[in-house]
Amino acid sequence: MDRIRIVGGNKLNGTIPISGAKNAALPLMIAALLTDETLILDNVPRLADVAQLQRILGNHGVDIMAAGKRPGDREYQGQTLHISAANIIDTTAPYELVSKMRASFWVIAPLLARMHECKVSLPGGCAIGTRPVDLLIMALEKLGAELQIDGGYVIAKAPNGLTGADIDFPKVTVSGTHVALMAAALAKGKTIITNAACEPEIVDVADCLKKMGAKISGAGTPRIVIDGVSKLHGARHTVLPDRIETGTYAMAVAMTGGDVQLAGARPELLQSALDVLVEAGATVTPNNEGIRIQRNGAGIRPVTVATAPFPGFPTDLQAQLMALMASAKGASRITETIFENRFMHVQELARFGAKISLGGETAVVDGIPHLKGAPVMATDLRASVSLVIAGLAAEGETMVNRIYHLDRGFERLEEKLSACGANIERISG
């Protein structure tokens, strides 16, 4: 199994290109199931999760062609996928495929909307909590589907198609909003989603669906209105930049010190995280090319942060912030409100010497002047990258084991960091 070896202590200086957002690319690829015409997606990141979803869609009979580079493409530009679901040959999403990636469960929405029936295995994914799908099921039932759970599968039917309805989510859910949006796009009549997730990835998917002929207003606000149409057509759409990758590298620079341009990043996608970085002592300068992050001389100041749905501080940056605060000058309080079990990085950060105490949803991090490199291992994607950040700043050698989680969500991580001066390498085998 591959590992990453880091010798910490180097400042980061240079440019890091930001890839397309994983959490937009995945639902956008799934949305291709809604039409028998070709959906072309540009700037799709080359990630293990994207490859896995390609296999899952392939199992339904979807043809996916990855186009090569075109003249004028930027060096790091993501791939272009031509996705054609002209013939859906199988409406079953099997356990072997869905259990590897939670988002693949979302195929339930387009399959039901277009094919009026499907059988989808209950999902797997990162070990960050129980992560039920009750709200997704609730949304589909509101739209008139009959669902039954049997042998670990959700068996869904809507013999006469889906019908628009009012869907009021009792809590903000990204997955629930994606599923409701995709299903309602092809339902008969009007759907109103209230307490909808406002994440930028929801807006990106809604924008793409609109290009495909869907009638959607209000995406990006808690109230989304969809007037269902009978058919969607092909379209071309560019995946928005990854705000979590952006925030991750911004925190890495804040921790090691240095001066890095995050090329292609969009500050409005992660303003709350940038505000926290400024509070912590980093200099954040949005410019035409992206965002410039600097920290020179001064130490890291402690912060008090609670994760929240967008536009709040993202749960997907909580682990990285904790790594940063491990060497702040004082005590930080970090509260996780989205997932009940998203503190698995705490015991691994402790191997670097970090002083973190957990009480319920809140971690208190007592910053120490210098972390020390250590062998570590993580159980989810964002936790893994928090260990990389800590390793970059720690004295001596860090070995990050079980890095397949990193490959699920970070494109060419070690290449991007070593280009900015980090001493980091992948060790195969």
Q: How far is the CB of 105 from ligand EPZ (least distance, A)?
A: 9
Q: Of the two residues 209 and 374, which places its CB atom closer to ligand EPZ in the complex?
A: 209
By CB neighbour count within 10 A (0-12 exposed, 13-18 middle, 19+ buried), where does 13 fall? middle
Residue 133 binding ligand EPZ, by CB under 6 A: yes
Q: Which residues does 388 contact at the CB level (< 8 Å), separation at least 6? A: 4, 6, 252, 400, 406, 413, 417, 424
Q: Of the two residues 105 and 352, which places its CB atom closer to ligand EPZ in the complex?
A: 105
Q: How far is the CB of 374 from ligand EPZ (least distance, A)?
A: 23
Q: Of the two residues 48 and 374, which places its CB atom closer to ligand EPZ in the complex?
A: 48
Residue 127 binding ligand EPZ, by CB under 6 A: no
Task: Look up 126 and say whether it is catalytic.
Answer: yes
**Contacts of ligand EPZ in 392-421 (CB under 6 A):** 409
Q: Of the two residues 97 and 103, which places its CB atom closer to ligand EPZ in the complex?
A: 103
Q: Of the two residues 319 and 371, which places its CB atom closer to ligand EPZ in the complex?
A: 319
Among 73, 96, 134, 268, binds ligand EPZ (CB under 6 A): 134
Residues 8-37: x where in contact with ligand EPZ by CB under 6 A, - otherwise, as a string: ---------------x--x-----------
Among 58, 132, 189, 330, binds ligand EPZ (CB under 6 A): 132
Residues 68-107: x where in contact with ligand EPZ by CB under 6 A, - otherwise, as a string: ----------------------------------xx----
Among 176, 247, 257, 290, binds ligand EPZ (CB under 6 A): 176
Among 33, 135, 187, 293, binds ligand EPZ (CB under 6 A): 135
Q: How far is the CB of 138 from ligand EPZ (least distance, A)?
A: 7
Q: How far is the CB of 58 from ligand EPZ (least distance, A)?
A: 19
Q: How far is the CB of 240 from ligand EPZ (least distance, A)?
A: 13
SS (H, E, C) the chain: CCEEEEECCCCEEEEEECCECHHHHHHHHHHHHHCCCEEEEEEECCCHHHHHHHHHHHHCCCEEEEECCCCCCCCCCCEEEEEECCCCCCCEECHHHHCCCHHHHHHHHHHHHHHCEEEEECCCCCCCCCCCCHHHHHHHHHCCCEEEEECCEEEEECCCCCECCEEECCCCCHHHHHHHHHHHHCCECEEEEECCCCCHHHHHHHHHHHHCCCEEECECECEEEEECCCCCCCEEEECCECHHHHHHHHHHHHHHCEEEEEECCCHHHCHHHHHHHHHHCCEEEEECCEEEEEECCCCCCCCEEEECCCCCECHHHHHHHHHHHCCCCCEEEEECCCCCCCCCHHHHHHCCCCEEEEECCEEEEECCCCCECCEEECCCHHHHHHHHHHHHHCECEEEEECCHHHHHHCCCHHHHHHCCCCEEEEECC
**Nearest to residue 18, comparing CAs of 99, 77, 68, 60?**
77
Among 62, 165, 174, 303, binds ligand EPZ (CB under 6 A): 174
Q: Of the two residues 142 and 295, which places its CB atom closer to ligand EPZ in the complex?
A: 142
Residue 315 binding ligand EPZ, by CB under 6 A: yes
Residue 126 binding ligand EPZ, by CB under 6 A: yes
Among 207, 316, 411, 414, binds ligand EPZ (CB under 6 A): 316
If binding means CB under 6 A, how many residues of this protein chain bind ligand EPZ? Answer: 25
Given the rule CB under 6 A, which residues bind ligand EPZ?
23, 26, 102-103, 126, 129, 131-136, 171, 173-176, 197, 315-316, 338-339, 381-382, 409
Question: Which residues participate in catalysis according to the annotation?
Answer: 126
